[in-house]
Each structure stands twice: as C-alpha cells, then as structure tokens.
Amino acid sequence: MRDPRNASFTWHDHGGPFRTVSPEQARRYDELGYFVMEHALGAAELQAVREAIDPFEAQQEEALRAMEGGRFFIARADEITFTTHLVLRSALLRTFTGSALLAGICADLIGPDVRLYWDQAVYKKPGTDSPFPWHQDNGYAFVEPQQYLTCWIALTDATEENGCPWVVPGLHRLGTLAHEYSDIGFVCLRDPDGAVPVPAAAGSIVVFSSLTPHSTGPNRTGEVRKAYIVQFAPTGAEVLRPRSDGSMERVPADDGGRQYEVLRGGRPVTS
C-alpha cells in the first residue's frame, strides 16, 4: 500500500554521462534500487572515518544506558545506536561527506545541485536479536522529491551473520509506501518475497534510494557491526511535517549547519 502523500510518483531513470558510478551500477540503481560500490574507501580513509565516529558513538551508548529502560526512540543500549548529525561535531566527517567520491555519486544519481540531507552512524552490537525492520528511508520523514539517495558505508565487514542490509529489489519505482510505527522502527513490509541480502566488505558503500525497502538482520557475532549512513537530496527538497491540527507544513531541507551544499551547478562545494 502506498503512502497517501504519494499520489503520483514517477521514477526517473539515469542516462549519464556518469562521472563516478559505472553505467552498470546506474542501471542496477534504476532497475533494482541499489548497488554496491566495492572497496570505495581506502584503508587509511576508512580508519580515519571510523576513528572519528567511535568516540561519539561511545558517548551515545553511555547516554542511552543512563536512560529509563536503556532506550530512546528506536535506539537501545547495548543493541543498536544511532549517532546523528556527526558532521556538526567532526571536521573530518564534514570534509568526507563532500569528498570527490560522494559528490561524484551525487552528481550521477541526483543532479547538479545537491545538499547533505542526513548523516548518522548505526552500530549494531553483539547479541542483537531483533532485525531492524523493513522500511524506506522516506518512510521516516516524507521528503519531496521522494527520490533521494542513501550511502550506507560499511565501516566493518557487514555480513548476514552480523546484520548486513537486505533489500527488496524493484519496489523503489512505486514511490513511498505506507509505514506504521513499531517500537523497533517504522515498518512498511513484513517477510517480503524476493528479499536479498547485501553483504558489504569494510570500506564498501551500499548505494540505494530513499525509496528502496530495506532491513538489517540480527547481529549473532561477537563483534560490533558499524555503518556510517549519509544521505543526499536535491537542493530545494522539503520535508512534509504534520502540524498538530493535521495540516502539513513544508520545511526546506537546508539547515545551515548540517544540510550544506555538496554540489552546485555540478561542481563540488567545499564547506
């Protein structure tokens, strides 16, 4: 079932020319809704990004443990943490999110004018039994245009055993599906047919659409599964936010501090 705000949606295929993704990756993005850019980050860059994030995640874990029930929204102490808006706290991550690699993916899959929409680290701890439920990223906050970009960057090897992403190929072309809230996250599908695991070696990027239904599995290993998720939207994108009277307000996704320009007229903007 579609989200009622998704009245008329058309997926626009990408015709190139491409500067960073291959024509085959662009084809997979259009047809399936995702592809993996293998070993996109070098070892030194990967280590630097992980080391920039780890201390903030440790603080987040401590803060969660101090909360009633060890929970806040969908985060759970010693299971799964969401450390958001790291670009406000780390110059290294700010530079990384505007790197030639990420800006190039944005140029190929979004367009000439792009802003960072969201960034967060998601760490899944050993012994986390519950999966992260099936959702589209546009199911958390309804953005228009609906079609924005998620780069799920594996900071450690992501495997079926420790909670790699799973996707349902093809459904992104329908636009935003209806979601309902559960205490482990918003849900748009339950046990969908055709779901495929998307393992990713450390340093690889799972590139998918905000409209690609995805989930991540339990972590049955003894190691933390670490990911840094960065999302990009076309300049001018707006979030449709419900007001208390039931009407919708349109909030531009251009927060001066963290939703900065990454591309303007097809050229990287350094912030």
Ligand X SMILES: O=C(O)CCC(=O)C(=O)O
Q: Which residues contact 229 (CB under 8 A, 6 or more apart)?
A: 118, 119, 120, 121, 122, 150, 151, 152, 153
The verdict on 142 binding ligand X (CB under 6 A) reads no
138: CB partners within 8 A, 6+ apart? 146, 148, 176, 210, 211
Nearer residue to ligand X within complex by CB, 98 or 163? 163
User: Shortest Cβ distance from residue 137 to ligand X (Å)?
Assistant: 5
| Burial group, residue 134, by CB count within 10 angstroms (0-12, 13-18, 19+) | buried
What number of residues does the chain have?
Answer: 271
Residue 76 as a binder of ligand X (CB under 6 A): the answer is no
Rg (CA), the chain: 18
Under the binding rule (CB under 6 A), the answer on residue 132 touching ligand X is: yes
Residue 122, interface with ligand X (CB under 6 A)? yes
Residues 197 to 216: which contact ligand X by CB under 6 A?
214, 216
29: contact with ligand X by CB under 6 A = no
Closer residue to ligand X (CB): 18 or 186: 186
The answer to whether 137 contacts ligand X (rule: CB under 6 A) is yes
Q: Determine, following the binding rule CB under 6 A, whether residue 226 of this chain makes contact with ligand X.
A: no
Tokens (6 digits) for 267: 């050229």
- The reply to whether 157 sits near ligand X by the rule CB under 6 A is no
Give the per-residue contact string, 81-120, with ligand X (x = CB under 6 A; - = no): ----------------------------------------
Phi then psi dihedrals of residue 267, to 5 deg: -105, 140
Using CB under 6 A as the binding rule, whether residue 50 contacts ligand X is answered as no
Binding-site member from 227, 237, 239, 253 for ligand X (CB under 6 A): 227
Phi and psi at 244, nearest 5°, equal -65, -25
Give me the least distance between CB of 7 and ligand X, in Å please. 24
* Residue 229 CB, nearest approach to ligand X (Å): 5
Q: Determine contact, residues 255/242, Cβ cutoff 8 Å.
A: no
Of the two residues 107 and 189, which places its CB atom closer to ligand X in the complex? 189
Phi, psi of 237 (to 5 degrees): -60, 150
Q: In this structure, are strands 185-187 and 261-264 parallel, antiparallel, or unpaired?
A: unpaired
Which residue, 134 or 268, is less far from ligand X as judged by CB? 134
CA 156 – CA 201 distance, rounded (Å) = 7
- Closest approach of ligand X to the CB of residue 74, in Å: 9
| Residue whose CB is less far from ligand X, 132 or 148 | 132
Question: Interface residues with ligand X (CB under 6 A)?
Answer: 122, 124, 132, 137, 163, 214, 216, 227, 229
